[in-house]
Structure 1
Amino acid sequence: MKLAVIAANGKTGQRVVETALAHDLDVTAIVRHENRSQATQVLQKGIFDLTADDLAPFDVVVDAFGVYDPERLDEHQTTLAHLTSILSGTTTRLYIVGGAGSLYVDDEMTIQLKDTPEFPAAYQPLAESMSRGLAVLRQAESVHWIYVSPAAEYDSEGPRTGQYAFAGDKLTTNATGQSYISYADYVDALLQEILHPSADQQRISIYGI
């Protein structure tokens, strides 16, 4: 399996590269600047400069792109519009490291986490932008995309436990009522889905159990 990781220099991107290499996958890091991941194969290009030919060799593309600058939040939509455009009609599977804000908290699927009173106001613009990015994907009928949301608490310093489960569009909690996942467990689960795909053109979520 040939796998490319966009934004491989980021916290999640570096972990995806490391874990994919541990599974003996053929991994290429796609980065704008000097590669800081463990990948030895590197494509140094900005996401908007990627072409269909650039991504054609890959079975799987993991998009770990994220931006927090208030002036650039719309790139959560525009980058996905670009990627779905150049992957349209191909067999390449596109996995997006998504957000939790758009997960639903009610059985009727009408209220999203980002719209609840408890959701931190500081993260509202980011969550709104990422939610609009998911909407872009849902219009991409000719792309094999999978949007992968973490639990509400996504812990960069948490340990790898191997104790996780998959869910769908609804926020899911463990037996103690927590919605938590470490980066390490999220990436492990993501690689399991990549190696043994069960989803296509849908959002899945991962939470610790």
Structure 2
Amino acid sequence: MSFFDGWLPQAVRYDSPYFDARPGPVPDDITLLVVHNISLPCGQFGGPHVSDLFCGRIDYNTDPSFADLRGLKVSSHFFIRRDGRVIQYVSANDRAWHAGLSSFRGREKCNDFAIGVELEGSDFVAFEAAQYEALAALTIALQQHYPLTAVQGHEHIAPGRKTDPGPLFDWEHYQKLLKKAAMLVGASATLGFPVGLP
């Protein structure tokens, strides 16, 4: 996988209006990968609503739960569907609005220096094998273009406020796939993982 101006050619591209310039130097300041989960409505997969939300075109009348989303301006760099398809909304060189109030290693505003990846899912449903494979491949590709030093869940950079990717995300499996993917391309799989993981 390769990037052109922060865009992954292999990904389906939907441009989000919800981004701005990073305050730090690109790519030197892009050091964190944040893993999230999302589904709209919660627990329902395969629909257009996540992309509609990130692209500012969601129909709030589609589902009663969408009323809470009214006026929300959020985005992510990437979204990985249940079948492993990757969608990109914001150039990795730019700042997507995915982390909100957050901090990592004493630094606030993780959006400034992070790349966000949303997995189609919820805290209550196991993720698919294809999603782990796609996430590992994407992570290695990102490492080859950006000086990533750590990967964290949204729950780790916004504890008490966020819970994703949730208890059913298998961090150890992701680590194993990451090492395997790195070996295939002769890359390094060295990344700091959440505290408590080997």
Q: Normalising by structure 1, what TM-score? A: 0.32
Q: Which has the higher contact order (CA 8 A, sep 6+)?
A: 2
Larger helix share, 1 or 2: 1
Larger strand share, 1 or 2: 1
